[in-house]
Amino acid sequence: MAVPDRQAVAARHNQRAIEFLREGGDSLVTTKVESLFNWSRKYSMFLYPFVTACCGMEFMSVAGPRYDLDRFGCALPRFSPRQSDLLMVVGTITHRQGPILKKVYDQMAEPKWVMAFGACTCSGGPYNNYAVVQGIDTIIPVDIYVPGCPPRPEAVLEGLMKLQARVQNERVPADGRHKEIDELQLPVIEKPVA
């Protein structure tokens, strides 16, 4: 795929702006398409609540009218991964549930983001045993971690704002998609076997 010459594109846009003003136009807003897309994306996230455990109560609190995710344009839960942008993984993920989570993530269309909501999704939390996945980042890529058991609604909103700041500055990858976890070079940490 040919990479567009950004300087040539910018020069062409400048020329168009000058022509517009010469023809009598009196006001002009310039932006990059990427910035415009990112701006609209960050304020219109459809979220998929993957709620498995007690953090769900805190999710309901933050989604409800008191803390109100809607203020951040992130209030429309879609219960189909195909329609959603933000996968909120809320609660303990067991090994048996791991493939389900991976499937939901894979079904989401690009661009997509993942929030690890609560200690269990970040690291396994208090559960260090045979059943619990030690952090969902071993299964899918995570964009923002919100620790806490459960996290306060303020923490979730802080995480969301940090994610939005990231989305605003995102560059769309040249091949149009983000990396899957299978392609990432993750360090392998061997846990001691007793």
Partner 1 sequence: MEDYGSQALRRLLEALSDAVLETHAKLGDATAQIDASRIVDVARLLRDDPDLQFEMLTDLTCVDYIEQQPRFEVVYHFYSVARNRRVRIKARVAADVCQIDSLIDLYPSADWMEREVWDMYGVRFEGHPDLRRLLLYEEFEGHPLRKDYPKERRQPLVGPRN
Judged by CB under 8 A, the residue of 36, 109, 149, 186 near partner 1 is 186
Stretch in the footprint of partner 1 (CB under 8 A) among 27-35, 110-118, 131-139, 160-168? 131-139
- Provide the minimum distance between the beta carbon of 153 and partner 1 in the complex, in angstroms, as a whole number: 29
Q: Pick from 45, 76, 50, 77: which is nearest to 140 by CA?
A: 50
Stretch in the footprint of partner 1 (CB under 8 A) among 45-53, 76-84, 148-156, 185-193? 185-193
Give residues 138-177 in contact with partner 1 (rule: CB under 8 A).
138-139
Task: Kindly state the helix (H) or strand (E) to which residue 33 belongs, with its residue range.
Answer: helix 33-42
- Alpha-carbon torsion (165, 50, 116, 103), positive or negative: negative
| Per-residue contact string for residues 85-114; x = within reach of partner 1 by CB under 8 A | ----------xx-xx--x------------
The Cα 114–Cα 87 span in angstroms is 5
Judged by CB under 8 A, the residue of 91, 125, 135, 153 near partner 1 is 135
Residue 134 touches partner 1, criterion: CB under 8 A? yes
The Cα 71–Cα 164 span in angstroms is 13
The Cα 30–Cα 14 span in angstroms is 9
Specify the residue, 79 or 130, whose C-beta has the smaller distance to partner 1. 130
Residues contacting residue 137 through CB under 8 Å, at least 6 positions apart: 116
Task: Kindly state the helix (H) or strand (E) to which residue 48 belongs, with its residue range.
Answer: strand 46-51
**Footprint of partner 1 on this chain (CB under 8 A)?**
95-96, 98-99, 102, 128-131, 133-135, 137-139, 186-189, 191-194
